[in-house]
């Protein structure tokens, strides 16, 4: 039981390049999330999904796209990377239906630098 | 104003001492409250949920004050391993989207 995994762990891009971050969870969770964490800013929600085939915008969605083709996977895409997207990206998953006290389980993060 | 605000610290705490810190939230409709712990360069992990009546988990005590819209965390008998950043987290229960504070850094020293 690996929990939530993310690939890659590190990546350096040049401005304008594209890439996809992969998140996978083996806990059969319905909800999945992508966050970014910047110094002093806390975690901010980029996009999230409440089930296979669904996606929704979070607090800071601009410049990112997501897809949830399979329940266990949630992909985050950067079509044209910008230096402002240099950050640590965390994926999380949860299984609501246990009241409002759902616990989100986080992956280990991806450190992205855009030059 | 940020939705969830925390004193960034750091709180320098002698080993064995007690430390407490608060977090304020702006949305009175918030329904669920949590403390997460984040170690340096690691992912956040749930420390404890915060219930209206207050709750305790070993050396950790969490309190919720809905009238004043703040949450507190108290750590007793601090251990070196308690050194971390503590994230205050609020859930408005709309799609289970969590709002994170910027974190309070705690450094426990011998």
Q: Work out the pLDDT band at A40, boundaries 50, 70, 90.
A: confident
State which residue of chain A sits closest to B30, comparing Cα positions.
A100
Give residue A100's pLDDT: 45
Average confidence (pLDDT) over B3-10: 93
pLDDT tens for residues A42-62? 899 999 999 999 999 999 999
Query: Model confidence over A72-103: pLDDT tens digits?
Result: 999 999 999 999 999 999 999 998 755 445 68
Euclidean distance between CA atoms A23 and A5, whole angstroms: 6
* Cβ of residue A42 closer than 8 Å to a chain B Cβ: yes
Q: Do A41 and B96 touch (CB under 8 A)?
A: no
The pLDDT tens digits of the residues spanning B56-99 come to: 999 999 999 999 999 999 999 999 999 999 999 998 765 567 88
- Written as six digits, the tokens of B8 are 């960034």
Cβ contacts below 8 Å, chain A against chain B, sum to 51
Check if the beta carbon of residue B36 is closer than 8 Å to that of residue B87.
yes
Contact between B42 and A108 using a beta-carbon 8 Å cutoff:
yes
Confidence at residue A41, expressed as pLDDT on a 0 to 100 scale: 77
């Amino acid at each position: 039981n690996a929990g939530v995994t993310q690939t890659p762990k590190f990546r350096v891009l040049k401005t304008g390049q594209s890439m996809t971050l992969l998140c996978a969870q083996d806990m059969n969770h319905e909800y999945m999330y992508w966050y970014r964490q910047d110094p002093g800013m806390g975690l901010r929600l980029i996009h999230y999904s409440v089930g296979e085939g669904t996606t929704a915008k979070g607090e800071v969605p601009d410049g990112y796209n997501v897809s949830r083709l399979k329940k266990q996977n949630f992909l985050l895409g950067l079509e044209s990377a910008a230096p402002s997207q240099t950050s640590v990206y965390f994926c999380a998953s949860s299984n609501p239906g246990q009241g409002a006290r759902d616990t989100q389980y986080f992956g280990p993060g991806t450190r992205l630098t855009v030059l | 104003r940020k939705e969830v605000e925390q004193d960034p610290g750091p709180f320098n705490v002698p080993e064995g001492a007690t430390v407490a810190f608060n977090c304020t939230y702006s949305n009175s409709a918030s329904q669920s409250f949590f403390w997460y712990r984040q170690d340096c360069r690691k992912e956040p992990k749930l420390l404890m949920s915060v219930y209206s009546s207050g709750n305790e988990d070993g050396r950790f005590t969490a309190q919720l004050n809905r009238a004043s819209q703040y949450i507190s965390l108290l750590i007793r008998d601090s251990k070196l391993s308690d050194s971390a950043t503590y994230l205050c987290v609020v859930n408005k229960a709309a799609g289970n989207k969590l709002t994170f504070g910027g974190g309070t850094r705690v450094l426990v020293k011998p």
